[in-house]
Chain A
Amino acid sequence: MIFSIGVAIGQNDESKPEKKKERPVRSMFESSVLIDDQTSVIPIKNTLVMHIQHRFGLIKTNSASDLFGIYAPSANTRMGLNYSILNNLMVGYGITKKNMYNDFQVKWAFLRQTRSGNIPLNLAVYANMAIDGRKNSVFGDDYEFANRLSYFTQLIVGRKFNEWFSMEVNVSYTHFNAVPTEKINVTGYEHSVFGAGGHVRFKFSAQSSIVLLYSAPIFIEGMAENTDVLNDWSPNVGIGYEVATSTHAFQIFVTTADGIVPQDIYMYNTSKLGESEIRFGFNITRLWGF
């Protein structure tokens, strides 16, 4: 009797289906940045990432005489380093030419789409704090260090539909402690703005993709500080080509925004696609594993 029960238990164990290990989908995007956006991608633990992000001048301003903005003096550059503390947690620092923003950032990918489909989406939060690094005099007579600070928080939702198509949408909140005052002849700026956007990747070979981006500030009149003079907010649009190798991702694109730090783009981008206010730009990502 005892023997037969033992056999029965043994049979139950054998018939129990083996639990398959869940794995995140392979490379939803090739880099943690895509044109001007953050992606939900975080390289594996102990990876150091170097970013070089560059935006040239407007193409139309001098056309061929400054090689369509490539040799224009109004270029903007950000150099940054990120480090993956965990497989789903990354911190970073960067410095940008425009306004000498020093940004400190953190990204947490708290849910990852799995290959089995049991988890259908990537979910990540990205937040940064930037310090405007220009001279004290820029901030007017009543200078305070806090006036240099701005904040950006974003929720990113992503899905890799198949090997060739991935998409992410995001919502964000931007806040600047101080915005331009009457001193520089601008009035009416909001301190805070919500935003929404998305980007897609069409991968057409093992290494190459076409990438598109759209993001827009959302003006909510009921929450506005000032409705007499409205910010000249403009959506940001970008389209580009991406090529990825083992340790690099290169993105070459045209975009409307001259800013690189996201809160600057949402708050201060006034370039309009409809008026052909676009510029060339590129991002280079280099990875080192430790």
Chain B
Amino acid sequence: MKSIKHISIIIFAIAIVSVFMAFITPQDQKKGEKWDIPEKYQTMVNSYAGDASLKKIGKMLYSKHCKSCHGSKGLGDGSKAAQLDTFPGDFSSAEFKEHTPGDMYYMTYVGRDEMESFEKKISDEEDQWAVIMYLAGLQNN
């Protein structure tokens, strides 16, 4: 009789724990640490600056390579963003606006951790800067 009581208590405890576990939500994504960007990248000059013809190219490349994580407006809300451990960043934030084009070049084509290098996926220099210019445009959203 005593053992049945014990079993009942265990089953009840498991049931209570299961109910509470159902309400557990994943922890918030961590915010990425500050990027350590070498000076040569910080001061990098975009030799394609002002080339308006690259705007459309930048948008198309962004849609293909970046949108799934960073979202269509660069708010960090792409369809794959929730699967990442680190928040992909909000390009419209004041913090991101402080970055130079060279910083963005480093983050995109050297990368770190989950933000892998896109140097081989976007291998042409003109295309690389077209994406950076498009990112810079998203900052104004």
Q: Mark A37-56, 1 if CB is under 8 A from B, else 0.
A: 00000001011000000000
- Chain B residues, Cβ within 8 Å of A46: 120
Q: Is the CB of A23 within 8 A of B65?
A: no
State whether the Cβ of B27 lies closer than 8 Å to any Cβ in chain A: no
CA of A167 to CA of B128 in the docked complex: distance in angstroms?
A: 26
**Number of B residues with CB within 8 Å of any CB on chain A:** 17
Q: Is the CB of A244 within 8 A of B124?
A: no
Q: Is the CB of A47 within 8 A of B64?
A: no
Question: What would be 24 A-B contacts, judged by CB atoms less than 8 Å apart?
Answer: A23-B124, A23-B126, A26-B57, A26-B124, A44-B120, A44-B123, A46-B120, A47-B120, A163-B56, A163-B60, A205-B63, A206-B60, A206-B61, A206-B63, A206-B64, A207-B63, A244-B64, A245-B64, A245-B65, A246-B64, A246-B68, A247-B121, A289-B120, A289-B121
State whether the Cβ of B59 lies closer than 8 Å to any Cβ in chain A: yes
- Chain B residues, Cβ within 8 Å of A47: 120
The residues of B with any CB-CB pair to A shorter than 8 Å are 56-57, 59-65, 68, 118, 120-121, 123-124, 126-127
The residue of chain B having its C-beta at the shortest distance from the C-beta of A44 within the complex is B123
Closest 9 CB pairs of A and B: A206-B63, A289-B120, A206-B60, A246-B65, A44-B123, A246-B121, A207-B64, A206-B64, A207-B63
Q: Which of B56, B57, B64, B123: most chain A Cβ within 10 A?
A: B64
- Chain A residues, Cβ within 8 Å of B61: 206
- Chain B residues, Cβ within 8 Å of A244: 64
Q: How far is the CB of B54 from chain A (nearest CB, A)?
A: 11
Q: How far is the CB of B23 from chain A (nearest CB, A)?
A: 35
The residue of chain A having its C-beta at the shortest distance from the C-beta of B60 within the complex is A206
Q: How far is the CB of A150 from chain B (nearest CB, A)?
A: 35
Q: How far is the CB of A64 from chain B (nearest CB, A)?
A: 32
Q: Is the CB of A206 within 8 A of B59?
A: yes
Q: How far is the CB of B121 from chain A (nearest CB, A)?
A: 5
The residue of chain A having its C-beta at the shortest distance from the C-beta of B118 within the complex is A246
Q: How far is the CB of A77 from chain B (nearest CB, A)?
A: 27
Q: How far is the CB of A85 from chain B (nearest CB, A)?
A: 15
- Chain B residues, Cβ within 8 Å of A247: 121
- Chain A residues, Cβ within 8 Å of B56: 163
CA of A282 to CA of B12 in the docked complex: distance in angstroms?
A: 50
Q: Mark A229-246, 1 if CB is under 8 A from B, else 0.
A: 000000000000000111
Q: How far is the CB of A19 from chain B (nearest CB, A)?
A: 15
- Chain A residues, Cβ within 8 Å of B118: 246
Q: Quick one: which of A249-290 are within 8 Å of B by CB?
A: 287, 289
Q: How far is the CB of B57 from chain A (nearest CB, A)?
A: 7
CA of A163 to CA of B61 in the docked complex: distance in angstroms?
A: 12
For the A-B complex with A23-B124, A26-B124 known, give 20 more contacts whose Cβ atoms are closer than 8 Å.
A26-B57, A26-B127, A44-B123, A46-B120, A47-B120, A163-B56, A206-B59, A206-B60, A206-B62, A206-B64, A207-B63, A207-B64, A244-B64, A245-B65, A246-B64, A246-B65, A246-B68, A246-B118, A247-B121, A289-B120
